[in-house]
Structures are given as C-alpha cells and as structure tokens.
Amino acid sequence: MINLEIPKKARTLVNQAYQAAAEVFRPISRKYDRAEHAYPTELDMLAALLDGLNSSGEGGAGAAGVRRKEDDKKSGNRNGGNLSTVLGAIEMCWGDVALLLSMPRQGLGNAAIASVANDEQLQRFAGVWAAMAITEPDCGSDSAAIRATATLDGDDYVLNGEKIFVTAGERADAVVVWATLDKSKGRAAIKSFVVEKGTPGFEVVRLEHKLGIRASDTAVLRFENCRVPKENLLGTPEIDTSKGFAGVMQTFDNTRPLVAAMAIGVARAALEETERLLAEAGVTVDYDKPANSQHAAAAAYLELEADYEAAYLLALESAWMADNRKPNSLQASMAKAKAGRSVVDITLRCVELAGTLGYTEELLLEKWSRDAKILDIFEGTQQIQQLIVARRLLGKTSAELK
C-alpha cells in the first residue's frame, strides 16, 4: 500500500524548514522584493545550517545530487536526500522562493557538481557556492544548441562565449558553464566546467531587472579566452555519442522536482492566505459538500486546491524515484510541467478571489503571482517539459519529435 504521509525521518527537517520560512523569510520578503539586487545578509546563518543538514545526509532545502551506483539497487526502497530536499523546499518557498534561490551553496551549480563530479572534485569544490550557466542569447530552451566553446590548450580549456539569465551569477563563488568541445559532434560534445570567480577572461556584464524573484540576482556573464584547468571539467572529457549529453542532463533529473517543489510552496502560500481571506468574508470551504452546492468562491478554491494536490504528488513521486535510483526523467518533467502551470494559475486566481486586497502590496499575494511565472519557465519551459513527456511516452528521439 502506498503511504502518502511525510516520512517520519523527514518530519524534523520539514518542521525546521517551516520555522525558518515563517520566522526569517516571511518578515523580510517584501523588504528584498523592493531592494532588488541587495544581498539578504540574514541568510548566512541559515545557509550554514543547511550545509550541516546536507553533509549529515539528512538533506536540506537546497541542492542535492543524483549519484547512481549499481550497488545502490540492492539497498531496497528508501526515502532519502532528494525527497527530503523537495519537502524542505516546499516549506522554504512557502516563505519566499527568491530568498531560497539566494541561499549560498544551494544552487543549480551545486546540484551539477554533486551529480556529475568525481570524488576528487567533490572534495575540492566542497563549500563552494556554484551557479549554473546554460542559457545563451541564441540558445534558450534547446540546451543542445549551445555555442559557447571550450578548446583544450595544454593543461587548460579555453572558454569563449556569453551566458544569460544566470541565477546567483554575481554572488556565487564559481559558475558551472556548459560549453561544447566540438560543434560538429552535436550534443555529445557538450560538457560542463567549473569556472571560479576571479579567473582572467571571466566577466559579469550586468544584472537583470525582473518581474519577480527580485531578491535573487540574475546575471549576464561573458567568457573571453578564459583559461580553466582541465581538472575542472565535470565528468569524462571523452565525447561519447551514445551518452555524452546524458551525463550533463542528469542534473535536471534532480533539479526539476526541486523547481516543482518551489512552485508547490508558493501555491500553498497563496491558497492558505486566500482561505483566510474567504473565511473573514464569511465564505467557508466545506470539504463534505459538493463544490456545486457551495459559494462560487469556495468552489473555485476547491478546484485550485485539487490542482495543487496533483502537482504535490507528482513532485514526491519523482523525488522518491531519484532516491531509489530509478530513471525519473519522465516523472521529473511531468512534475515540473504540472507544478509550473498550476502555480501561475493558482496565484493569479487567488489575487482575483482576494479582490482589491490581492492587487495591492498590503498582502504578499501580488508578489507571489509575480514570483510564480519564472517557476514555469526556468529549468525548461512548460512547452519543453511537454515535449520531453511526449518523447518518453511515445518512445521518440529528439530528432524524431521536435
């Protein structure tokens, strides 16, 4: 029988994440939404706590790796770091998604290092805050179309190219950069490189002003004859056309459920606030009555809550599969697609249900509606997730179904 309750071993983490969200994130949420690009110094102590949770194996609310080993298959079913991370992220983003994205050492770059790096690199980059640089001016949703190049020259790779929309691109200690070793060999030649701040030829060009997640910095980076030690290449330097791109893409099997969790946290925040406002207005949501026999606002709320529950269960499934070393690319994309679409719909309709209060800065509802949209875009847009799902279900390759 499937048990959908939070595992006992994760309950302490969930409670701690909720307390941090309620006591640290919520009180400063509006402050850093207005003070765009200002670093939230209140996060430093929380980041240290998450480091401890991750290193202890309990999992925090930030990045964790997907490291698959053959002997792991014999360990039986388990609820591990990926599920704990998803549960923690839901609670933290109930507080503020932009502040979670601003947490040191909890970014997508850290997830890439944790997933793909060898044991020596794991030790060498331990404690490094790493951003991830994938998107380019001429390469958005199609990661395989990357044009940034990496050319081996002696003991270094020379990187050239430009990256845009890099979360924590200015604040992080290093950036995991996707670049191609040989454009003629397609996606198999794309590798990821750890480029540390201060490396000659590495420049932060500008910071973007955004609709939402304003507390999180989003940078444009340029690499011009940037020399990176060949030991900083994550994974193998061999170009294997059968699995070369898969090793880099493995990161997304973990981070897409994490982004789904972020969306679920924001959606839950909006739903709870809306339920409170409805109750104050005399509208009670009754779970023992059919929706069509209740107030129209209550019926709308029940519809939104059902959407939320579906996204929540998909995210838990994809994280559980990662913990149990099961291929979860399909489920990760389904969770990301469902949660990304749902959070946009839920937050906007909650603003509508709240009336004038929902549209002003008196409440955080309008902020959550602005924050929500990026959760449907980054880590692969809604359209890309649906394309991945279609390919998996139909057994088509990327060349056969575009």
Which residues are the active-site residues? 379
Is the distance from CB of 162 to CB of 140 less than 8 angstroms?
no
Cβ contacts of 48 within 8 Å, gap of 6 or more? none
Is the distance from CB of 252 to CB of 380 less than 8 angstroms?
yes
Sign, CA dihedral 347-353-354-355, equals: positive
Is the distance from CB of 20 to CB of 29 less than 8 angstroms?
no
Q: What is the C-alpha separation between 375 and 357, in angstroms, rounded?
A: 24
How is 350-375 classified by DSSP, letter by letter? HHHHTTHHHHSTTSSHHHHHHHHHHH
Cβ contacts of 23 within 8 Å, gap of 6 or more? none
Written as six digits, the tokens of 342 are: 């749902």
- CB-based burial of residue 209 (10 Å sphere; 0-12 exposed, 13-18 middle, 19+ buried)? exposed
Q: What is the C-alpha separation between 67 and 121, in angstroms, rounded?
A: 14
Sign, CA dihedral 360-362-365-367, equals: positive
Q: What is the C-alpha separation between 144 and 226, in angstroms, rounded?
A: 22
Written as six digits, the tokens of 251 are: 């990161």
Residue identified by tokens 């990926």 is 82
- CB-based burial of residue 189 (10 Å sphere; 0-12 exposed, 13-18 middle, 19+ buried)? buried
Q: What is the C-alpha separation between 67 and 49, in angstroms, rounded?
A: 23
Q: Which residues pair with residue 196 across a beta bridge?
A: 174
Is the distance from CB of 214 to CB of 242 less than 8 angstroms?
no
CA atoms within 13 A on the CB side of 139: 18
CB atoms within 10 A of CB 55: 11
